[in-house]
Chains A and B, each alone.
Chain A
């Protein structure tokens, strides 16, 4: 029974998360608290963990809640349930894309979408910068944050360094510089 509920809830969470990331935190919280799987306070902790671990926040929280409620089988089931809508929807969209992408109207549509997508990436940079600077306490911390961000921008954006190495260097710098 618990497994069916886990599956249904995380399938629903996966299905209603459009645009990625933080938009769906409210939905996850609503589901988890409604079913009594976690208190709101525990949920805040899960979000904190999701932020410091790699991977999409949807999968992070699915794995965590699934493990808490149903052990390792629960964790695997919830993680699978949250990505299943993606698998279904992307299969459909991808098939349509392959069939129609040469059509003139579709080409016009993508010529319109590409600059918009670029603008959305720039917006994400602005929003992440604002959120991070709000979170970092004190002047030295903000200064180091700005310098590391600028260095990563130059390294990855201009010099085409490997983003994985840049992230590792940033983690070491964080260890040395932040208090």
Chain B
């Protein structure tokens, strides 16, 4: 596999863009990460993105932060991880520092709130788009369909913490695929 070489500045600026447009939780930025990291930069293979997202959800911390560190580490080691991490954090830190000064004016500004209503609506569409694109790629067998539906239900009804859903998915993958490969059962 030939990955394009990433400069530290490149990592910083790509994740700066991702950090600046991550609203409403980490998964809304999945289409953006996919576009920047897979399509534009060619740093990561399409299917690896989902592994990175799953790993990012299984370790402590925000998804955007964890995937920035993962990708930075893969491309340029610790220096790359720090560059990507600084990139994804900077917009958030700078904007909050500004807002902390103008706290009350900002919050009661009707124009800000209206524009944000539009952004909130868009976030629904962005996360749904991520689910659609990832699902089309991954759900290719009856097993995969069943696994994703079970995960969907467990998560929507808050029946299990997300980490446990992912761990169970891994365990059932090991059981299902080793049995199939071993010819023990179809």
Is A63's CB under 8 angstroms from B96's CB?
yes
Is A58's CB under 8 angstroms from B149's CB?
no
Kindly identify, within residues 31 to 79 of chain A, every residue whose CB is under 8 Å from any CB belonging to chain B: 45, 48-49, 51-60, 63-64, 67-68, 72, 75-76, 79
Q: How far is the CB of B180 from chain A (nearest CB, A)?
A: 9
Which of B54, B117, B122 sits near A152, CB closer than 8 Å? B122
Q: How far is the CB of B36 from chain A (nearest CB, A)?
A: 9
Does residue B43 face the partner (Cβ distance < 8 Å to A)? Answer: no
Q: How far is the CB of B18 from chain A (nearest CB, A)?
A: 9
Is B93's CB under 8 angstroms from A18's CB?
no
Note all chain B residues with C-beta closer than 8 A to A178. 114, 117-118
Does residue B166 face the partner (Cβ distance < 8 Å to A)? Answer: yes
How many residues of chain B get a CB closer than 8 Å to chain A's CBs?
A: 107
Q: How far is the CB of A19 from chain B (nearest CB, A)?
A: 4
Does residue A173 face the partner (Cβ distance < 8 Å to B)? Answer: yes
Q: How far is the CB of B71 from chain A (nearest CB, A)?
A: 10
Kindly identify, within residues 154 to 186 of chain B, every residue whose CB is under 8 Å from any CB belonging to chain A: 155-156, 161-163, 165-166, 168-174, 176-178
Note all chain B residues with C-beta closer than 8 A to A144. 117, 121
Q: How far is the CB of A15 from chain B (nearest CB, A)?
A: 5
Does residue B91 face the partner (Cβ distance < 8 Å to A)? Answer: yes
Is A86's CB under 8 angstroms from B89's CB?
no
Which of A104, A122, A170 sits near B121, CB closer than 8 Å? A170
Q: Mark A12-24, 1 if CB is under 8 A from B, else 0.
A: 0011111111110
Is A120's CB under 8 angstroms from B117's CB?
no
Bound together, the chains give a CA A27 to CA B163 distance in angstroms of 17
Bound together, the chains give a CA A174 to CA B161 distance in angstroms of 34
Note all chain A residues with C-beta closer than 8 A to B148. 115-116, 118-119, 122
Note all chain B residues with C-beta closer than 8 A to A132. 120-121, 123-124
Note all chain B residues with C-beta closer than 8 A to A68. 100
Is B89's CB under 8 angstroms from A112's CB?
no
Kindly identify, within residues 66 to 109 of chain A, every residue whose CB is under 8 Å from any CB belonging to chain B: 67-68, 72, 75-76, 79, 83, 85-87, 89-91, 93-94, 97-98, 104-105, 107-109
The SS class assigned to the B binding surface is helix
Note all chain B residues with C-beta closer than 8 A to A152. 121-122, 124-126, 129
Bound together, the chains give a CA A26 to CA B53 distance in angstroms of 24
Q: How far is the CB of B21 from chain A (nearest CB, A)?
A: 5
Which of A54, A58, A112, A150 sits near B22, CB closer than 8 Å? A54
Bound together, the chains give a CA A93 to CA B58 distance in angstroms of 10
Is B97's CB under 8 angstroms from A75's CB?
yes
Max chain B CB contacts within 10 Å: which of A93, A154, A172?
A93
Taking A120-B162, A125-B124 as contacts, is the C-beta distance between A164 and B21 under 8 angstroms?
yes
Taking A48-B107, A121-B131 as contacts, is the C-beta distance between A56 and B124 under 8 angstroms?
no
A-B pairs with beta carbons under 8 Å apart, 6 shown: A75-B100, A94-B70, A124-B27, A158-B132, A167-B21, A172-B115
Per CB-CB distance, the 5 closest pairs between chain A and chain B, nearest first, are A112-B173, A174-B118, A55-B92, A152-B125, A116-B169
Known pairs A55-B19, A111-B173 / 7 extra A-B pairs, C-beta < 8 Å: A18-B57, A51-B23, A117-B57, A128-B28, A145-B121, A147-B121, A152-B124
